[in-house]
Each structure stands twice: as structure tokens, then as C-alpha cells.
Structure 1
């Protein structure tokens, strides 16, 4: 009964809050009366509050520009976790655009949708990301190309770093900075999740969204950690494969450190 009540109240908060914030976000996008990310941060924080997800941060977003974030990917909640406290834009797979709520939220924060299976469109997509970085947008790349269970970092796909090469090739920048970021879900109700229970926070592959959302809403009180590594310059002579391996190693190192010694819940 308590869990059902929690789900009802959480969904009610999201619906009522969205009815207020969506028009304000559309207004900011059309008029630029205030920065677009102001409303987005409020929206992300509201969703995290409804879910019961607390965010702990180690390090900070790099100041260098153009900047590409290379992060691991565990769930759709990764977007809210990052978007709640930093000014970033996201790169997401194309089918997310049609998802209820998440698709709308993605469009309202100018997400770049990419079709990873269609190589013919990859050049245009990389060019769009490169242009956005050249304009000052910090783009978040979930470099595994899929979601994992939170226990391991999957191999980073070097092809997804094509936007950095494109930005340099098109003359938008002499170099692009790439910053590794680890997103780790560590505790539930203050207790370390452990390998067995950590997938509770994960949304993997073709798993249906609503059952996963109900579990997350019913449980609540989940802790997530975001660890920022040092940015690495990517220039004309840089190798995408070597950069992908380096970012993967750094994200894996930060992930394992967070899992081994999770921060206290508060």
C-alpha cells in the first residue's frame, strides 16, 4: 500500500510540475529571456526528487571549450542525474525521440538524436554535434553505445568520437577537449547495493520502461555518484581508437573507485 501511494504521489509531482515547467521552457527557447538550462535543471531535480534519487559529485565540469563528455551509461536517469547540476546537452539514440515524457524532455533540451545503425547518416550527425560544440554547447556522449548493469563499464565505441574529428576537420576548432565522467549508482535506502542489487537502478537494452519505472518509484532512496576526470585534448593527429580506450580506462577506474568506497548517503 505504501509503495503504491509513493508511486501515485511521485507521478503526480512529475505531471503537475511538467504542466508548469514545459510552457516556461518553450518560452525560454523562443524568447531567450533566460538561459534554457535554468528550467531544465529545475525539471531534472524535480524528477530526481520524485524518484527519490540523490546525487553526489566528485570533481567538476571542465572549463575548456569545445568540450565533449565521454560517460558510461546505465539508465535513462543518467540524463536527469547530469542535467540537474551542469549545463550540458545530450547525444541520444534516435528512437528516444518518440518516448513519452523522456522524448519530450529530450527535445526541449535540444538533444541531438543519432541513428547508430545507419552509417549513411553518421557524417551529418557528427557534423551537427561538431557545430553544437563549436557554438559552446557541452555535449554528453554515452560512449558505450548501450546501457550496462552498473557493475561493469562496457567497451567504448571509437566511432562515436567522430564528432571531435569532424569539429577539427571542418575548422570549427583546432582541438576538442574530451572529459571522462563516471555515473555510478551506489546505495539504496543508505545501504550499498552490491553486485546483485545494483541492476535495480539499470535500464538495460530492450527492457520495458514502465515496469522498470514502477520498481524505481516504489523503492526510492537511491544514491548516485558522478565522478569527473581530467579533460584530454583531442587534435588533428589524435587517434579515435586510442582516445576511446583512454576514456574507457579512466571511466572504469573512477567507477571501480566509487563502487569500492561509496559515499555516505545524506
Structure 2
């Protein structure tokens, strides 16, 4: 089975480079709605090929755009979330150069931020605010790094300035992600000195991974500073994660 998954993965990536990338590039430049179907359809295919079954609970708020705030377990969070909704993500700048992941990130219009560069935060927040003004839903992982998914790391408040600078109606939408084998949590993270291809191969060999995604109630942001918003969102994401683990 993992060999079939590996063959399907290579075939899907090759087909994407030949057919989807040119269409998606034109669609994004011209604002065609088909870009959203391409994104969600391709990410659903990737989840199937790798062996991840996405199980959502709840939904994003009806009012758009949505500022989605989630815990971060692995790079697979991106394809899992994007298989449900057409989303724009915030990622560290080095992701753009990663094999496979960089391609997926660029295909989805990811906003890249230099790691540890505080002077670039205002520019990044301006770009994020521009995404919201364009009517697109945005995802940030305010932990600033991935984790084993056992608990939620402290949320950094820096990019909550983007939602406060937005001058229209928007919703802060908390989301919690948990990976299980159907019963118990499993570690699908890529971290430390792991190289990507062996990590991807281990995922394919494992197969049968369930990615549970819970969406919480929208959080009002009027009258709150970025630290208060980060703390309130973190508390709700942590509560959802603990409920899923329970």
C-alpha cells in the first residue's frame, strides 16, 4: 500500500505541475473563482494519497472574511484545512524553498514571513490585512512553530494586529487540530533534524491517520488589544483540543 501511495503522490505532483499550476496561476491573476476549487480539490487529493482522513466538527462563521486561528501540529495542517475551505496561509519564509511544501504553499498564495524578524512584522500584517480586504479567508498559526499536538503552545499576539487594522466586518474563527489513529492521538509532526522524504514515507506507511478539525465560536475583536485577542483565542483552541482528546 505505501508503494501505491508513493506512486500516486508522484503522479499527482507531476500532473499538478503540468496542468494545474498554469491554470491556477492565470486564475489567481485574473481573480477567477475556479482557483478556489483547484485549491480545495488538490488538497483533498493529497490527503487521500498520503492517507489522511479529514473529519471536521462545526464550521467557520458565515460572515466573511474569516481570520482563522489554529494550533499547529504539522505541515499536513495546511492541506487538511485547505481541503475544507479555500484559504490563504501565513508561513515562515523558508517554506517557499522547501521541496513539495514550497510548491503547495505558493500554489495557495501563502503570505511568507521572515523568521524572527520583528522589523518585518508591520509589512507582513499589512499583507495579511490586504488578504482580508480582498475578501479571502486567512489562516495563522500563532504558536509560531509546530508541536507534537499534545497541547497548545502560547499564542504570539503579533499578527492579531492585522485583524485590528482591517476596516470591515470580519470574524476571528478559532480552530483546533488533532491527529489520531481513530482512537488515540498520533504524532505526524516533521521537526528537529528529520528530513522531509523519509518523514513523508513514514506517513504513507502509517496510513489511516484521522485529522480531526474543530471550529469554535467566532470571537469579537472590537475593543480588545492584540494580547487579549491572542489569550482568548488560545484558551478556546486549548479547550477544543482537550475536548477532542478526552
Structure 2 length-normalised TM: 0.92
CA distance in 1, matches of 2:174, 2:201: 31
The residue number in structure 2 matching 1:216 is 203
CA distance in 1, matches of 2:29, 2:225: 39
2:177 pairs, out of 177, 183, 192, with 183
5+ residue gaps, structure 1, are 261-266
Q: Give the aligned length.
A: 245
The residue number in structure 2 matching 1:227 is 214
The residue number in structure 2 matching 1:264 is none
The residue number in structure 2 matching 1:77 is 76
CA distance in 2, matches of 1:24, 1:46: 17
Determine if the alignment matches structure 1 residue 10 to structure 2 residue 8: yes
The residue number in structure 2 matching 1:255 is 241
Task: Say what the alpha-carbon RMSD is for the aligned residues.
Answer: 1.8
Q: Note the alpha carbon deviations across 1:183-207, whole angstroms, 9 max, x for none.
A: 11122xx4x234xxx22x1223553
CA distance in 1, matches of 2:133, 2:20: 29
The residue number in structure 2 matching 1:238 is 224
CA distance in 2, matches of 1:128, 1:32: 17
5+ residue gaps, structure 2, are none
CA distance in 2, matches of 1:40, 1:176: 22
Structure-to-structure mapping, 1:62-211, within 5 angstroms: 62-167=61-166, 172-173=167-168, 176-187=170-181, 190=182, 192-194=183-185, 198-199=186-187, 201-205=188-192, 207-211=194-198
CA distance in 1, matches of 2:15, 2:41: 10
Structure 1 length-normalised TM: 0.85
Moved over 6 A (4+): none
Residues 11 and 218 of structure 1: CA distance in aligned 2, closer, same or farther (over 3 Å): same
